[in-house]
Amino acid sequence: MKNDLNFTDFLKDVFSTFDKKVENSGLVSICVEIPCIDLFHLYELFINKYQFSSFWEESDGISYIALEKCKYVTLDGPKRFEVAKDFNSENFKSLINLTNQSHISSLSKIIYLFSFSENLNNKYLSLDVPSLEAILPKILIIKSDNNCWLRINGHVEGKSSLRTLIEEIWAIRNQVINSDSELEKLSSLKNSFDFLIIDDFLNSLETSKINLKQVINRGIQLVEKGILDKIVLANRVKIKLKNKLDLLGILKRLKNNQPNTCRYVWKRNSKDILFGASPEKLFSFTKPNLILEALAGTISTDSNFDKLLRSSKDLKEHNYVIKYLIKCLEVSKITNYKKSDIKVNSFGDISHLQTHIFSTVENICPFELLKNLHPSPAVCGYPKNEALDWINTLESFPRGNYASPMGWVDASGNASFLVAIRGARYIEENIEFTAGSGIVSGSVLEKEIDEIKLKFESIVKQIFSAKNPR
């Protein structure tokens, strides 16, 4: 049921289900299977047609393109995980599916982006991002293995508005099927992109080093004095762009050069775009399998991995994360878990110590789990609250969405959330890069600064590179 589906039969089936399930009006969802096409091609086709869009692509797992908002909530301030939970529950309770899709990957999804911390007494509040953005997309394209689905959500008042919604999903389906010819037209339009050399970024990084050294030194002192066991401190560099951001080209390079990552985009509008390639999955839950990930301890991929596996400093940093994740499971009354062996996993130019924690649970609230897990010692420190206070004191900028949870929850309660690192934010013709390093006993100033530089370069090199990588 891909190319050979007949519109008349499809319309008839949806109307029939509507008569059975809906009295006259309501929030409905319609899904149709489509040919499996590269998501980059589809995103290129649709990205400029809708103000809001989000992109999520994993090599092994569910990927999606979300376009426009059907229902949404934006929050500044406290209780963001509670608000997200209520929004999730209310919308999935009222959402009526008018098509039968047996594949679990095709289920309706609500997508979420949180800020690193709640916007309470924030001296940078006017420059910050919302504490929570939760969106039931109007249009959702889902890919899993070699299967693809197109889903549309909307509020309808009777069959007239339902037919309009059906015609819209059918028009988008036809655009997908005929996407090759559409993309040929787009490729004929010349775009002027900004291709700065990496030296421009390195000069800006050098300028920020004086303050960075002071911040890292203070972090080392806090650990040496026993005030903290670990703290992750970050640096931010801003670059001015003169021309258009080549977002699709950047995403393609990230996929080619960092295939083990999850490529992500949260495009609020054409002037505010968060994007990157995260190596770190906070957790994934596909009933009944729950997987948490500890990712901490860093080395350049061209180095000797045995050195990382023997590094007392990196092992100590990594073990704080494992200890914290297990504690979070126990808080959720989950005690039947297993730990994988620690290994080194490579994500392009950077490699990390990685440990997975597996559990089997009948059900779990993803938002309660998020509330416990975030921020983990991998991006914050240990103990958490004390480290968070020091981060707010020492860092000269708001973290915003850096190192924050981004992900999705589906209608059955399955969920997946990454940590928004190894990325950048395009904002008002500037690009903001943020990267950090974990400080524990044994940390050395210059090595921490080199680690931050390495993390910066992993994303910077994908932006300031050769033209038209097609």
- For residue range 267-277, list pLDDT tens digits in order: 999 999 999 99
Conformation bin of residue 3: beta by default, left when phi > 0, alpha when psi is -120 to 50 = alpha
pLDDT at 209: 87
Residue 10: both structure tokens together: 């499809």
The mean pLDDT of the chain is 91
- DSSP-derived letter for residue 204 is H
pLDDT tens per residue, range 407-418: 999 999 999 999
Whole-model pTM: value is: 0.94
3-class SS letters over 15-41 = HHHHHHHCCCEEEEEEEEEECCCCHHH
Residue 467 has pLDDT above 80, yes or no: no
Separation in Å, CA 207 to CA 202, 437, 452, 459: 9, 18, 14, 19
Distance CA 344, CA 351 (A): 6
Residue scoring higher pLDDT (235 or 5): 235
Is pLDDT above 70 for 134? yes
Cβ-contact 413, 267 below 8 angstroms: no
- Write the CA distances from 157 to 163, 172, 175, 354, integer angstroms: 10, 22, 26, 51
Q: Distance between CA atoms of 18 and 28, rounded to whole angstroms?
A: 9
pLDDT at position 138, please?
98
